[in-house]
Amino acid sequence: SQKIEQNSEALNIQEGKTATLTCNYTNYSPAYLQWYRQDPGRGPVFLLLIRENEKEKRKERLKVTFDTTLKQSLFHITASQPADSATYLCALDRGSTLGRLYFGRGTQLTVWP
């Protein structure tokens, strides 16, 4: 089965710095990789999707990279703000009819002023 590892359980950075979160996976390569944000007491919220044939995807202050050779995705938040504090989850699927979405355990990001 697919194994997903997110770099650490918690990451603390100062406001204004760039936060970099890592998602590593084993076994087969996914057709898609997605990043979600989860705030306490709420369900995950979709942020970005990147396909296997894409190297990079950007959305405002967010950037995702996807390296299928390293089996790794990096998630960057530039000019971080305290409001970015949350847990970030990566999720993989195979784009096939099997359809399971595998989630990592998440990285809890805290941005302090």
Partner 1 sequence: DAGVIQSPRHEVTEMGQEVTLRCKPISGHDYLFWYRQTMMRGLELLIYFNNNVPIDDSGMPEDRFSAKMPNASFSTLKIQPSEPRDSAVYFCASSGLALGDTQYFGPGTRLTVL
Does 34 participate in binding partner 1 (rule CB under 8 A)?
A: yes
- Which residues, other chains included, contact 67 with Cβ-Cβ below 8 Å and sequence gap of 6+? 55, 73, 74
- 70 φψ region: left (φ > 0), alpha (ψ -120 to 50), beta (else): alpha
Tokens of 55: 């190297």
Least gap, CB of 76 to partner 1 (angstroms): 20
Structural contact between residues 29 and 55, judged by C-beta atoms closer than 8 angstroms: no
Does 3 participate in binding partner 1 (rule CB under 8 A)?
A: no
- Stretch near partner 1 under the rule CB under 8 A, chosen from 18-26, 34-42, 55-63, 77-85: 34-42
Of 36 and 80, CB closest to partner 1: 36
Q: Do the strands 107-112 and 10-14 form a parallel or antiparallel pair, or are they unpaired?
A: parallel
Least gap, CB of 13 to partner 1 (angstroms): 23
Footprint on residues 40-99 left by partner 1 (CB under 8 A): 41-46, 49, 89, 93, 95-99
CB atoms within 10 A of CB 63: 17
Q: Which residues bind partner 1 (CB under 8 A)?
A: 31-32, 34, 41-46, 49, 89, 93, 95-106
